[in-house]
Each structure stands twice: as structure tokens, then as C-alpha cells.
Amino acid sequence: MQDRILIVGAGILGAALAHRLACLGAQVTVVESIAPAALATGRSFGWINASFHLSPDHYRLRLAAMAAHRALAGELDLPPATQGCLWFEETGEGFDRLDADLTALGYPVQSLTRAEVARLEPALANPPERALFFPTEAAIDPAALTIALLNAASAKGATVLSGLPVTALSTAGDTVTGITTRAGPIMVDHTVLATGTGTPALLAPLGLTFPMLHRPGAMFRSQPLPPMLSHILVTPRLEVRQDAQGRILCPTAAAHQRDSSTSLPPQETLLAETLRHLSHLLPQADIRPDTLRMAERPVPGDGLPAIGPVRPGLSMVVMHSGATLAPEAANLLAAELTGQGDQPALAPFRPARFWG
Ligand SMILES: Cc1cc2nc3c(=O)[nH]c(=O)nc-3n(C[C@H](O)[C@H](O)[C@H](O)COP(=O)(O)OP(=O)(O)OC[C@H]3O[C@@H](n4cnc5c(N)ncnc54)[C@H](O)[C@@H]3O)c2cc1C
């Protein structure tokens, strides 16, 4: 008999896991309280990278995830995402340090001069003196990928239930036996929490405190414009890219991957600052706001992913940089859940580190 696996949450992590498990023959149900990609995934910048990392293990996981994205695009017949990134967030020592660190790791990186940057991005008004070029980095649309993954999972027999909050986990002794919803209980062989910032509330009744950092974020989207940017740009003031529809996207915090702010300025201030930085970067462009959406980024207490067993019958898959990490986190966890043994790449990221 197939294993019955229930995934709580239809962000990019729940969707990627549902797809991989369905491909491996599991009987999958996804239960989502709002709608697919309704929270962090629908507000994400979607930059796929390993140039940012917090440890060697984290670097290896991110690198594997970049390859997993390429494989997934082939599997789902999606256009390959190959924008490349121009990084000039820092100058001087910070620039040289990142260049040296990534070169030592064997990461594809080239140091470019101002003239070379201007050739790659002619619309930039003030190209930086130097930039690091990461040719293998890319951007995806996390919400669109989530929908594509759920559709592919459904085509393989998975069931997706939206608008159905999970109110509690059902237990028998120490074992989690399924979930409770207003529509009644669903009993399964295994439950996985892909619930982002909703995770602590579901774990608390089990006596487990899952620490998460409070990291509010916001995503600016402009109305569509003619093509003017070909790469992801990481500038000292903001990250920016243009999507396939011509919209300029930027997470409004500078250095959003390392950002440690616990509060955001009022939305009108954020919007005015973002437009000011963009007009400095692209003065010729008539950038008109379309949306500014707020979201809480799901960041476990130590900044690193939490992937794997919690209790008998229960696992979790919660992290920031989930747009980057989702396909590899899903590959590894799905392998474990379908009896392929412990995946060594997950050893540094076990949730149990928070519970001793
Ligand atoms: C502004 C911003 C920019 C970002 N930029 C990047 C980037 O460039 N690159 C990158 O790699 N990452 C980026 N991230 C991070 C990335 O988007 C997230 O790590 C990722 O989307 C997390 O996906 P998720 O599926 O875990 O969480 P979510 O997308 O939050 O999904 C969790 C889902 O679980 C559901 N849920 C929660 N509780 C329950 C419950 N009790 N019952 C039923 N359903 C429940 C929620 O409704 C939600 O749909 C960014 C995030 C933000 C906010």
C-alpha cells in the first residue's frame, strides 16, 4: 500500500514536496489555510543563489538547490531561468572578500569593470566601478512555480485542499496521527509541516517551542515596462530585477538576505524610498508602482533551514531562502519519507537542534 502523506501548507516548500512525493508514488494530500502561494511565496523576490550562505553546509545545500531548479525546469517543461546576477552591494574589502571566498569555493564568479557592467546593463545610469558577475544565478516566479508544482502533483494523483486551516495536529501518545480541521480530522501515516511562519502555533500544543526570527519584508512591483534590465542587480540600496512581464521587482529592504530589521517603516515611506532609489538607478524609466505587499519571512531562530523529523509521524520543512532551496529540500525529504534512508546533506539542518 502507498504511504498516505499529508502536507500542511501550499507555499513553494509544500508544493515542491507534494510534487516530489507524488512522483515517488506516495498518496499525497496538501491542506492550505488560504490559497497556494498566499504568504511568503507570493511576495518573494525569487532570486536563486548560493553566493549568500551562512555556513559551508548551507552553501552546499544552496548549490545543490540551484542544480535542482535546473532539473525541475526540465521536468516541468518550464523555460530555463538563466538571468545571472550583478552584485555590487559592497565595495573595497567586502567586495574583495566575497570575490576571494566564492572563488576559493569554485563558485562561478567574475569581477567586472565599470565598462563591462555598462555593456551588460546599458540602462544603468551610474554603473558601479566594479561588480561581481554570478552567471549561474537566476530568478524564478515562486508563485507561478508553486502552481505548476501543485498542478503536476495533482496530475500524479495528489489532492490539494485550499481554504482549510489546520487547527491542530492529532496525536496518539507521542505519535502524530494526522490533523484536525473544521471539516473534521484527516488521519494519515505521516504529516509534514510546510507552514512557514504558521509553524510555532501548530507545534506549541505538542510542548515544542520552535523559535523563529521576526523578519517582516515587503515586495515592490511596478507596472510593466519595456525590457531594460537583463540581470538581477544587487546594489548597496536595493535588489532589483525585471520579470518576464516587464515589471520591476524589488524587496524594499537593502541586503534583504542578511536584513535583521524587526520592523518596517510605514508603507508610504517604503514606497517613496524605493522609488527614489530606483530613479537614481534608472532615471530614464517611468516606474509606476503596481503593488507593495508585506510579508513575514519564515526564518528559523538560527537563520538556517529546519528539515526533517519532529515526532513519530511528523516532519517539518521550514526556512528562509525557500525560493532557492525548495526543490532540493523536497528531493531530500521526499527520499527520506519514502524509505530511502537518512540523507547526509540534511544532518546539519535537523529541527531537533532546537529541542536538544
Ligand atoms: C519579501 C521577500 C523576499 C524574498 N526573497 C527571496 C529570494 O530572493 N530568494 C529566496 O530564496 N527566498 C526569498 N524569500 C524567502 C522565500 O520566499 C520563503 O523562504 C519561501 O517562500 C517560504 O516558503 P514556504 O512554503 O515555507 O512558506 P509560505 O509561502 O509562507 O507558505 C506557508 C503556507 O502554509 C500555510 N499555513 C500556515 N499555517 C497553516 C495552517 N495551520 N493550516 C493550513 N495552512 C497553513 C500558509 O497559508 C501558507 O500558504 C523572500 C521572502 C520575502 C517575504
Whose Cα sits closest to atom 10 in ligand 1? 321
Q: What is the pLDDT along the chain (356 residues), one digit of tens a residue?
A: 568 999 999 999 999 999 999 999 999 999 999 999 999 999 999 999 999 999 999 999 999 999 999 999 999 999 877 689 999 999 999 999 999 999 999 999 999 999 999 999 999 999 999 999 999 999 999 999 999 999 999 999 999 999 999 999 999 999 999 999 999 999 999 999 999 999 999 999 999 999 999 988 899 999 999 999 999 999 998 999 999 999 999 998 766 667 778 888 888 999 999 999 999 999 999 999 999 999 999 999 999 999 999 999 999 999 999 999 999 999 999 999 999 999 999 999 999 999 97
Identical fold for domains 4-46+143-212+301-354 and 85-135+216-295, yes or no, is no
Binding site membership of 8 for ligand 1 (Cβ less than 6 Å): yes
CATH fold of the domain at 4-46+143-212+301-354: FAD/NAD(P)-binding domain (3.50.50)
pTM for this entry: 0.97
Whose Cα sits closest to atom 41 in ligand 1? 166
Q: Note whether 234 and 258 are within 8 A (CB).
A: no
**pLDDT computed for residue 256 by the predictor:** 65
**pLDDT computed for residue 1 by the predictor:** 54
Q: Which amino acid is at 271?
A: L
**pLDDT computed for residue 255 by the predictor:** 61
Q: Single out the residue of 303, 333, 277 nearest to residue 213, CA to CA.
A: 303
**pLDDT computed for residue 260 by the predictor:** 79
Using the atom order of ligand 1, give the atom closest to the CA of residue 12: 25
Using the atom order of ligand 1, give the atom closest to the CA of residue 197: 30
| Domain boundaries along the sequence of the chain | 4-46+143-212+301-354, 85-135+216-295
d(CA 40, CA 112): 33
Using the atom order of ligand 1, give the atom closest to the CA of residue 164: 43
| Multiple choice CATH, 85-135+216-295, 3.30.9.10, 1.10.3720.10, 3.90.1150.10, 3.90.950.10 | 3.30.9.10
Q: How far is the CA of 218 from the centre of ligand 1 (A)?
A: 13
